[in-house]
Amino acid sequence: MRALGYSEKGPISAAGSVVEFEKADPQPGPRDLLVEVRGVSVNPVDVKVRANRPPPEDEPRILGFDAAGVVREVGADVTGFQPGDEVFYAGEFTRDGSNAQLQCVDERLVGKKPGSLDFAEAAGLPLTSITAWEMLFDSFGIAEGEGAGEALLVIGGAGGVGSIMIQLAKKLTGLTVVATASRPDSVDWVKKMGADHVVNHRNPLNEEMKALGISPKYVAALTGTEGHWDAIVDMIKPRGHIGMIDDPATINWQALKLKALSFSWEFMFARSMFKADDMDAQSKLLNRVSELVEFGDLISTVNKNNGPLTADTLRDALAHQDSGAAIGKTVLEGMS
């Protein structure tokens, strides 16, 4: 099969940041699906891995942590899928990614693709939906239908995770949702996603929230957490909960004590990396997301389609992700 990978770590401008190469077709294990990839998307994790982790010595590493496609083969122990099924998923951190013609993925991480979305649009949903769902319902412990009278602040609301978190919180909980955005186009985007209020993360967020008269019980710190930390601790309610996905260099953890605040990391690959007993929770939640899309309760978060997957189009998509100006999700179609 044909695949795209990186042969040297570093910036997207490096010669080996995206290279096309041939690789033997993957063979499905007992719980695996062999998927013909028809759509992919890019995420910040692609940027972080390529910049910091050297690839294997013998061949480029295939990245890509979002895909939609068609099942071609199933492993001997697969029970939930069959050849011909249209699926979407985020895959595993420790296996080959989706930037290829074919990919093997454990069925416990896979959902049925929303029929109303094309493959590229569907590929924009899995990683961000899993991340947002796990933070809202697993980490924050909010039950569906609950949260009335409380507020959620989504820092980085126009990004991929923020775009779907806003929607999930508005459709499935009673929370008031405040999102941060700083440019007119990103403000318009988070409003489209359903945010009740928008504040500017280029200003002190505690002052922005004070002006709204809102003290959030939950803060989803999706980007720039180190710079916002003091403001988060100042604004959040006592016994509130902070969830984080980025990687700040230094954090004053002691600041959490006086308000008895809770904190949790979100890393959506944790279940698959450690083969958790509830790995299939990701399949179940993706199927729920698919249903919500079909019912019209969730809308696509795709804001840019780069066309068929090639070395040039992928490099351009990754550069856009690197720029920090991406809104929503950037997707690509399968390899022609």
CATH of the domain at 212: 3.40.50.720
Predicted local distance difference test score (pLDDT) of residue 314: 97
Domain match, 173 and 246 both = yes
Q: Is 273 contained in some domain?
A: no
Q: Is 7 contained in some domain?
A: yes
Q: Where are the alpha helices (DSSP H) in 71-183?
A: 119-123, 126-133, 160-172
Q: Is 45 contained in some domain?
A: yes
CA–chain centroid gap for 185, Å, is: 21
Q: Is 311 contained in some domain?
A: yes
Whether pLDDT at 207 is above 90: yes
Predicted local distance difference test score (pLDDT) of residue 90: 98
Domain match, 121 and 145 both = no
How many domains is the chain built from?
Answer: 2
Predicted local distance difference test score (pLDDT) of residue 324: 85
Residue 61 banded pLDDT, cuts 50, 70, 90: very high
Q: Where are the alpha helices (DSSP H) in the chain?
A: 44-52, 119-123, 126-133, 160-172, 184-193, 205-212, 225-235, 270-273, 281-294, 311-322
Burial class (CB in 10 A: 0-12, 13-18, 19+), 147: buried
Residues contacting residue 183 through CB under 8 Å, at least 6 positions apart: none
Lowest-confidence region among 206-210, 246-250, 294-298: 246-250
CATH of the domain at 54: 3.90.180.10
68/300 Cα distance (integer angstroms)? 14
Domain match, 67 and 115 both = yes
Domain match, 215 and 167 both = yes
Among the candidates 265, 297, 319, a domain finishes at 265
Burial class (CB in 10 A: 0-12, 13-18, 19+), 235: buried
Q: What is the mean pLDDT of the chain?
A: 97
How does pLDDT run across 104-123, given as a tens digit for each residue? 999 999 999 999 999 999 99
Domain match, 146 and 184 both = yes
Q: What percent of the chain has pLDDT over 70?
A: 100
Q: Which residues pair with 110 in a beta bridge?
A: 89
Domain match, 210 and 287 both = no
Among the candidates 217, 237, 265, a domain finishes at 265
Domain match, 201 and 99 both = no
Contact 181, 320 (CB under 8 A): no
pTM greater than the 0.85 cutoff = yes
Instruction: Label residues 270-295 b or e (16+ Cβ within 10 Å = b).
Output: ebbeeeeeebbbbbebbbbbbebbee
Domain match, 194 and 229 both = yes
Domain match, 171 and 201 both = yes
Q: Is 71 contained in some domain?
A: yes
Domain match, 31 and 108 both = yes
Q: Is 150 contained in some domain?
A: yes
179/153 Cα distance (integer angstroms)? 6
Predicted local distance difference test score (pLDDT) of residue 135: 98
Q: Is 272 contained in some domain?
A: no
Domain match, 297 and 324 both = yes
Predicted local distance difference test score (pLDDT) of residue 213: 98
Contact 157, 179 (CB under 8 A): yes
The domain in which residue 152 lies consists of 128-265
Determine phi and psi for 332, rounding to 5 degrees: -140, 155
Domain match, 75 and 148 both = no
How does pLDDT run across 223-278, given as a tens digit for each residue? 999 999 999 999 999 999 999 999 898 999 999 999 999 999 999 999 999 999 99
Q: Is 270 contained in some domain?
A: no
Among the candidates 236, 265, 294, a domain finishes at 265
Residue 336 banded pLDDT, cuts 50, 70, 90: confident
